[in-house]
Amino acid sequence: MDINKKVLIIASEFPPEPGGIGNHAYNVAKNLTCYKYKVSVIADQRLINRHSEILFDNKLSFKIIRIKSKSIRVIMYINRIFQIFKHTYRNEIIIASGKFSLWIVALSSLFFKGKKYIAVIHGSEVNFRNKILRKSIDVSLKKFGHIIAVSNYTKSLVSYLNLSNITVIPNGFQLLENPMKKINKKRGYPSLITVGSVTERKGQRNVINALPTLIQSYPEIHYHIVGLPYKKNEFLDFAKKLGVDSYMTFHGAVSEEHKKDLLLNSDIFTMLSQNTISGDVEGFGIAILEANNLGIPAIGAKNCGIEDAILDYKSGILIQNDNPVEFKKSINIILNNYVLYSNEAKLWSSKFSWKNIIKKYVKVLEL
């Protein structure tokens, strides 16, 4: 392996702001530097107040090029294209993650030959309902030398293209060296929790819809909802109509330590994600593995990328996202075999440490 090889990662989002694609790009970049690759990242400036973003960037072990936010969007897009072209010329391996990244890197591949172009597909960016957008992604993917899908479900979304150069590499996460133990029990038994932006795709509404059925068997149940509250008001109104609003708490976006505390004091992680009319899908479900690492079993939805994140009837249980009766049965099974499920969850999650996942990326980079 050439330890001086230059890698450019172009991502549609990046920390410190939350987002699965950004978190993925950050960890790929960080862990590739451990293999002595010289890594650069291009991503948009996302914060109006840049202080926390600057502090974050200054601590990175790799170079980050931020595309400045502009009120006139066309100027921002032109600058983004210019920076991508400039740095594509300077690097040997180009990794694109996110829909705009796929488009512009596919375009740049027409001008800069002899590079290794790799696309990372997460889900929604290859599932547009708009035929023109869908076709543009299809054409773009064919310009890449290799494609990495984050789950078998995501791979299935492009199966009609008959791509021979596609590999499934799941998302990784940072294992806790010394997982904390539960201290102060949070409200409710069983205590259910979902971590993720409060949106249609993440499926919080499906859990809320099941609460009337769950309450029949678990009158002390409580549902903790953690994440950016985009649809909080809509979902809260829905809960009030069902008469279950007192059985749930919206915590909003919280710090990593607070999130960890909420997870540790929960019994079951739930993610009943659903595909949206616009084509937004759950590509994997890294939050499930983060909970598993703390010994929290999961109940997740079938027919999406979550199927790769849960070892069915081992680390958790897969169900139809709109079936409250099946949901209640799954809760009962897990609670009655909790130690077994908790231990299996920890064991399962260990397979997805970035230490293991990055080896799969290096293998693709060295093909």
Q: SS3 letters for 6-68?
A: EEEEEECCCCCCCCHHHHHHHHHHHHHHCCCCEEEEEEECCCCCCHHHHHHHHCCCCEEEEEC
Where does the pLDDT of residue 4 fall: very low under 50, low under 70, confident under 90, or very high at 90 and above? confident
Looking at domain 191-350, its CATH architecture is: 3-Layer(aba) Sandwich (3.40)
Q: How far is CA 250 from CA 122, 253, 254, in A?
A: 27, 9, 11
Statement: residue 18 has pLDDT above 90: no
- What's the average model confidence in pLDDT over 79-98? 95
- What's the average model confidence in pLDDT over 139-150? 97
Statement: residue 249 has pLDDT above 70: yes
Which has more pLDDT, 99 or 147? 147
Where does the pLDDT of residue 142 fall: very low under 50, low under 70, confident under 90, or very high at 90 and above? very high
pTM assigned to the model: 0.90
Q: Specify the range with the lowest mean pLDDT, choosing from 9-23, 158-172, 310-324.
A: 9-23
For tokens 């690097």, the residue is 91
Statement: residue 184 has pLDDT above 80: no
Helices (H), the chain: 20-33, 51-58, 73-90, 99-108, 131-141, 152-156, 204-217, 232-242, 256-264, 286-293, 324-336, 338-350, 354-365
Where does the pLDDT of residue 77 fall: very low under 50, low under 70, confident under 90, or very high at 90 and above? confident
**pLDDT value of residue 3:** 58
**pLDDT value of residue 69:** 78
**pLDDT value of residue 279:** 84
**Cβ partners under 8 Å of residue 187, min gap 6:** 222, 224, 249
Q: Specify the range with the lowest mean pLDDT, choosing from 57-61, 68-72, 95-99, 357-361.
A: 68-72
**Residue-averaged pLDDT of the chain:** 93
Give start-end residues of each CATH 3.40.50.2000 domain in the chain: 6-172+354-365, 191-350
**pLDDT value of residue 185:** 62
- What's the average model confidence in pLDDT over 279-299? 93
Q: Which CATH number fits domain 6-172+354-365: 3.40.50.720, 3.40.50.300, 3.30.530.20, 3.40.50.2000?
A: 3.40.50.2000
The proportion of the chain whose per-residue pLDDT surpasses 90, expressed as a percent, equals 80
**pLDDT value of residue 175:** 80
Statement: residue 1 has pLDDT above 60: no
Helix (H, G, I), strand (E, B) or coil at 307: helix
Statement: residue 182 has pLDDT above 70: no
**pLDDT value of residue 364:** 96
Statement: residue 109 has pLDDT above 90: yes
- What's the average model confidence in pLDDT over 304-328? 97
Joined together, the tokens standing for residue 183 give: 């201290």
Statement: residue 178 has pLDDT above 80: no
Q: Specify the range with the lowest mean pLDDT, choosing from 6-10, 17-21, 99-103, 269-273.
A: 17-21
Statement: residue 241 has pLDDT above 80: yes
